[in-house]
Amino acid sequence: MDIIVCLLLFAGLFFFTGGAVGILRFPDFYSRLHPAGKLDTLGLLLALIGLALFNLHHFSLGTLLTSLKIILIAVFVFLASPTATHAIVDAGVRAGLAPWTKGEKRR
């Protein structure tokens, strides 16, 4: 049981690392959103599932409901995060940022 929890948690942390490094490395605003929007969402989902499983160690109605609440956070983030990403892209488009194309310098 602990091993599964650790695996899920570390997978989540791995995707979080990808997100953080991606935000630093990618060349422009639009491509930076790809790691920020996707990797963070999946990392959060995996880490939260791991933690919810760990919380079920001492099984009772209370811990079950707490785990359900943790899952509720994940569901909420899954609805909200793509929307936030979309809103930021929209803001960038309206602010008049031109997308980076191949061969340009990074900004």
Among residues 16, 49, 53, 59, the one that binds another protein under rule CB under 8 A = 16
Number of residues near another protein (by CB under 8 A): 79
Residue 87 engages another protein in binding (rule: CB under 8 A):
yes
- The number of beta carbons lying within 10 Å of the beta carbon of residue 3 is 7
Residue 68 engages another protein in binding (rule: CB under 8 A):
yes
Could you tell me how far CA 87 lies from the centroid of its own chain? 16
**Shortest separation between residue 21's beta carbon and another protein, angstroms:** 6
CA distances from 7 to 18, 50, 62, 75, 99 (A): 16, 8, 25, 21, 37
Site for another protein in 21-60 (CB under 8 A): 21-44, 47-48, 51, 54-55
